[in-house]
Amino acid sequence: MNFSLLGLFVFVNQCVSYKILAVFPYNGRSHHNLFSTLVEELALRDHSVTVVNYFPMKNISKLRQIPLEYKVSGSDVVDIDDTLKNLPGILVNFHKALDTARAFKNLANSNCNKLMSNKEIQGIISSKTKFDLVIVEQFVTDCGLAVAFKLNAPIVGITAHILMPWTYSRLGALNHPAYVPNHFIGSGTKPGFWDKIQSALINIAFNIYFKYVIQKSDQMIINSVFEDVPDLDEIGKNISLILLNQYFPLTGSRLYGANVIEVGGLHIKENTTIDDEEIKSFIDKAESDVIYISFGTVASNFPDRIIKEIINFITKSSVKVLWKIDNVGNLNLPKNVLIRKWFPQTAVLCHPKVKAFITHSGMLSSIEAMHCGVPVISVPLFGDQFANAAAATEIGLGVTIDVSTMNERKINQALKTVMQDSYQIRAQNLSALWRDRPVSPLNLAIFWIEYVIRHKGNVELRPPTVDLGFYELLMLDVCGMAIGILISFCLFFSIIISLIRFIRRRHINPNKTKTQ
């Protein structure tokens, strides 16, 4: 009888329904693909979820959607021509960082305005609706943190990528340029001397730009709608934990506190199949290998030169090609290529006949290639793609091509490289390492979300480094004291030695005079 009651208690405790608000202010389709998987699963597990985002999700009874107005603008896409500028040496990386900073500023202002001006959000805050937790995306705008503050709810952060440079400090994590790759430098975890200098300078510049330009403009937008919202950095330090869309076999091991949970791959569903008969038949009937080409959801305006180089490569190749692209113009396409605006990417990559993936190295694409064990030919274009490409190359998952010099010969050479047995076997081994986990990343994410709610945000996961200044974290105060003491000792001994010499001269000189 007692065991029955205990079992009933455990069952009831596991079936508690919580009220969760999820705020995703960035209008990126790839980010939505990740977040929607988590939110929909929370709703299916009987939690009452309200989600604020740009794209529709599944119609689930426990899921309420608050749509933000979506309109494609210049800041939502990447113009490939901008990456083709032939800048000398070290200036290339600073050019990438500058372009990214400008794009982030436009994105942040646009996303924050749309979030703060939403009438349903304003209604939720003015009515003081009670939520057990607010999930907030950590990307280019912190306006979602203001919503969580006004609702006085615990906060869980989530990313669709590696940590942004300005996110480390609020989590108490160490963004050390000696081994943490900068988003915009393809140096991997073993950077050279000049790479370290560039990483350090770009990190400092981005942190200053984010705090004094992006966050300042966010704060002005927030203050025009709501009162008494404190400094966004201070709210950010109250994040209970962050769900990080990476996993160490791909991006390398990092020094994180207990408040950073790696859940890379949570969007991937097991046993995915290709339902589209045309795509399935195209792959199944291939007499040779198949490769897949996709440059993501934000790349646009491909120069005709690059499109022609890819088509020339496909025409002369014996492999079949699936190519995700919106428009190739009036160019003649060979019979061994299938063009679509969308493919079921994970299902395609996991098909046994697909042997290579030409990709922009977005985080989701990199994760899916790793999961399916398919070597990549990385062509990074923007943002964290350079770091992702460097990570894939460093671990032996593939090779990288510079988009500014991309041509038919280099594509063909790269394909021959990744089709070698060594790359194919390495990709399969990495896939096995990636998949071998004690619990699925989706279940892990949901456990930690429910954990924070159960303890009302008082989870004590934050490391003490969150509250330390940079001079304390780098022990500059201790070093300063040590240097000061050392200098004092040196001065003291210098004075003592000078006095001894002076006294000795005074005693020795009179004796010499007498002798003479």
pLDDT-based confidence at residue 10 (cuts at 50, 70, 90):
very low
In-domain check, residue 4 = no
Q: What's the rounded mean pLDDT across residues 219-240?
A: 93
Q: What is the mean pLDDT of residues 336-356?
A: 94
* 8-30 average pLDDT score: 77
| Whether residue 352 sits in one domain with residue 449 | no
In total, how many domains does the chain have?
Answer: 2
For residue 299, the surrounding DSSP H or E stretch is strand 299-300
pLDDT in tens, 59-113: 999 999 999 986 654 444 555 554 445 544 555 667 677 777 888 888 899 999 9
pLDDT at 12: 43
Specify whether 172 is located in the same domain as 222.
yes
Q: What is the DSSP string of 371-427?
A: HHT--EEE---STTHHHHHHHHHHTTSEEE--GGG--HHHHHHHHHHHTSHHHHHHH
Q: Let me know whether 112 and 194 are in one domain.
A: yes
Q: Is residue 8 part of a domain?
A: no
User: What is the residue range of 291's domain?
Assistant: 277-435
Higher confidence at residue 462 or residue 78?
462
The mean pLDDT of the chain is 87
Same domain? 459 vs 403: no
Q: What pLDDT is stored for residue 238 in this prediction?
A: 93
Q: What is the pLDDT of residue 8?
A: 41
Sort residue 87 into left (φ over 0), alpha (ψ -120 to 50) or beta: beta
Band of pLDDT at residue 194, cut at 50, 70 and 90 = confident
Residue 145 and residue 228 in one domain: yes
Model confidence band, residue 395 (pLDDT cutoffs 50, 70, 90): very high
Residue 13 has pLDDT above 80, yes or no: no
pLDDT digits (tens, 9 = 90+) for 131-147: 999 999 999 999 999 99
**Dihedral pair phi/psi, residue 356, rounded to 5°:** -155, 155
**Tens digit of each residue's pLDDT (9 = 90 or more) over 271-318:** 788 989 999 999 999 888 999 999 987 665 667 788 889 999 999 998
For residue 460, being part of any structural domain is answered with: yes
| pLDDT greater than 80 at residue 178 | yes
Q: Do strands 48-53 and 19-23 pair parallel, antiparallel, or not at all (unpaired)?
A: parallel
Domain CATH number, residue 191: 3.40.50.2000
236 shares its domain with 290: no
The whole-number pLDDT of residue 305 equals 83
**215 and 342 both lie in a single domain:** no
Residues 379 and 259 in one domain: no
Contact 162, 183 (CB under 8 A): yes
Residues 187 and 297 in one domain: no
pLDDT of 516 reads 52
CB 395 within 8 A of CB 366: no
User: Does residue 355 sit within a domain?
Assistant: yes
The answer to the question of residue 272 being in a domain is: no
Same domain, 20 and 153: yes
484 pLDDT band, cuts 50/70/90, is very high
pLDDT on residue 91:
58
So what's the pLDDT on residue 11?
43
Residue-level pLDDT at 6: 42
339: left (phi over 0), alpha (psi -120 to 50) or beta: beta
Query: Is the per-residue pLDDT at 7 higher than 80?
Result: no
Q: Residue 9: is its pLDDT beyond 90?
A: no
Q: Which of 11-15, 33-37, 352-356 has the lowest mean pLDDT?
A: 11-15
The values of phi and psi at residue 387, to 5°, are -70, -40
Which of 419, 400, 424, 420 is CA-nearest to residue 410?
A: 400
Q: In what order do the strands lie in the sheet with 320-324?
A: 337-340, 320-324, 290-294, 354-359, 376-378, 398-400
**For residue 57, what pLDDT is reported?**
92
- Rounded distance between C-alpha atoms, residue 315 and residue 335, angstroms: 8
pLDDT of res. 152: 94
* In-domain check, residue 149: yes
Using DSSP, state whether 159 is helix, strand or coil.
Answer: coil
**Residue 516 token pair:** 């003479």
- The pLDDT of residue 337 is 92
Domain-terminating residue out of 395, 417, 435: 435
Q: Is residue 58 part of a domain?
A: yes
Residue 24 lies in a domain: yes
CA distances from 5 to 2, 13, 15, 17 (A): 5, 12, 15, 20
pLDDT at 14 over 70: no
133 contact partners, CB below 8 Å, separation of at least 6: 18, 19, 20, 21, 153, 154, 155, 156, 449, 452, 453, 457
Percent of the chain with pLDDT over 90: 59
| 63 and 188 housed in the same domain | yes
Specify whether the CB–CB gap between 115 and 143 falls below 8 A.
Answer: yes
Side chain identity, residue 276: D
Q: What mean pLDDT is predicted for residues 194-204? A: 86
Which pair of structure tokens corresponds to residue 189?
A: 């975890």
Task: Evaluate if residue 265 carries a pLDDT over 80.
Answer: yes
* Rounded-to-integer distance, Cα 155 and Cα 137, Å: 10
Name the burial class of residue 339, with classes exposed (0-12), middle (13-18) and buried (19+) by CB atoms within 10 angstroms of its CB: middle
Q: Which tokens in the block code for residue 6?
A: 């205990």
74 and 132, same domain (yes or no): yes
